[in-house]
Amino acid sequence: MNRFMRSFFPALALYGLLIFGLLLTLTPLWWMIAASLMPSGEANSVPPRLWPSTVTFEHYTALFTRLDLARYLLNSALLAGAVTAISLFINSMAGYAFAKFRFQGRDPLFQGLLGALVIPAQVAMLPLFLLLKQFGLINTYWGVIVPGMASIFGIFLIRQYLLAIPDSLLDAARMDGAGEFRIYWSLVLPLCRPILVTLAIFTFMGAWNDFMWPLIVLTDSSLYTLPVALANLLGEHVQDTEMMMAGSVLTVLPVMLLFVVLQKYYIAGIMLGGMKG
């Protein structure tokens, strides 16, 4: 009895807190989905409803037929996809060079890049805007893509991963007379697969969720990404709660599914990034 009591109460408190936390964490997401399926006006009832009286997809239909949401979805997917593909290629080459080659100035250069991580991105934004304006890239897809094509964090992640891979593999390939680019392409990249998947998820999600830079660069509404379109929609349709929730669901859902499917890689990436401290 005594022993039972001693483990019963801590377990009760533990699960009480865990379930309380679960409710706090998931309720906003649950309500977002529920409200998006409610008939117009039902999300503004007293007391608030957590479940639609009848399930309707009219707000989703309205978003696609009247408000061009397909266009924004496509823009977001296109931009996030392009940034991911290009930056993966460029960052992996640089990470490989830092991990597996010896050359003068390598370590100070790498340290310098890492040190630059304390500079907030916003500091660069004003001149970057002027620079891209000179190149004629403002209000184009490339204006969003170009600044994301290389990232210090991406280089760091690849380098950390490659440091753990023995040089002997690469040396063997060199002995066989393989060219450097061939070694990178058909040996290093396949070896890096797990970390490339991780970095791809990070980059894709980062680009998909990014708000400030697309907001600055894209002025033509036909180029808007989902977050920019959503913030813009809020101005006109703040009263249409159910429709705004449908828009939020469509913005959040793709990245959330991506995470749920690939979370093993995502979590591994946070660990690798967090261990440098």
Partner 1 sequence: MMNGLERHAAFSAWVFLTPALLLIAVFFFLPVLAALLLSFTDFDIYALGDLNRLRFVGFNNYLHLLQSPLFWTAIGNTFYFVILGGPLSVAVSLGAALLVNARLTRFPGLFRTAFFLPVVTTLVAVAVVWRYLYHPRYGLLNYGLSLAGIEPIDWLGDPDWAMPAIILMAVWKNFGFNMIIFIAGLQNIPPQLYEAARIDGAQAWAQFRHITLPLLGPTFLFVALMTMIGYFQVFAEPYVMTQGGPANRTLSIVLLMYEEGFRWWNMGYASAAAFILFVLILAGTVLQLKLRRRASS
CA pair distance 167, 184, nearest whole angstrom: 13
**Residues contacting 191, CB < 8 A, separation 6+:** 162, 165, 169
CA pair distance 40, 7, nearest whole angstrom: 49
Which residue lies nearer to partner 1 by CB, 58 or 131? 131
Least separation in angstroms between residue 123's CB and partner 1 is: 5
Give me the helices (H) in 66-117, please.
69-100, 106-115
Least separation in angstroms between residue 27's CB and partner 1 is: 7
Least separation in angstroms between residue 58's CB and partner 1 is: 18
Six-digit token pair at 219? 């002025």
Give the count of beta carbons closer than 10 Å to the beta carbon of residue 167: 11
Q: Which of residues 136-165 bind partner 1 (CB under 8 A)?
A: 146-147, 149-150, 152, 155
Q: Judged by CB under 8 A, does residue 241 bind partner 1?
A: yes
Q: Judged by CB under 8 A, does residue 70 bind partner 1?
A: no
Least separation in angstroms between residue 1's CB and partner 1 is: 19
CB 64 within 8 A of CB 70: yes
Q: Judged by CB under 8 A, does residue 231 bind partner 1?
A: yes
Six-digit token pair at 44? 């503004």
Cis ω for the linkage preceding 47 (within 30 of 0) = yes
Least separation in angstroms between residue 127's CB and partner 1 is: 4
Among 70, 169, 172, 234, binds partner 1 (CB under 8 A): 234
Binding residue count for partner 1, defined by CB under 8 A? 93
For the chain, how many residues are written?
Answer: 277
276 phi/psi in degrees, rounded to 5: -70, -20
Q: Judged by CB under 8 A, does residue 26 bind partner 1?
A: yes
Q: Which stretch binds partner 1 (CB under 8 A): 61-69, 159-167, 191-199, 265-273?
A: 265-273
Q: Judged by CB under 8 A, does residue 198 bind partner 1?
A: no
CA pair distance 86, 72, nearest whole angstrom: 21
Q: Which of residues 92-131 bind partner 1 (CB under 8 A)?
A: 93-94, 96-98, 101-104, 106, 113, 116, 118-131
**Residues contacting 31, CB < 8 A, separation 6+:** 48, 50, 245
Q: Which stretch binds partner 1 (CB under 8 A): 8-16, 52-60, 66-74, 77-85?
A: 8-16
Q: Judged by CB under 8 A, does residue 2 bind partner 1?
A: no
Q: Judged by CB under 8 A, does residue 170 bind partner 1?
A: no
Q: Judged by CB under 8 A, does residue 53 bind partner 1?
A: no
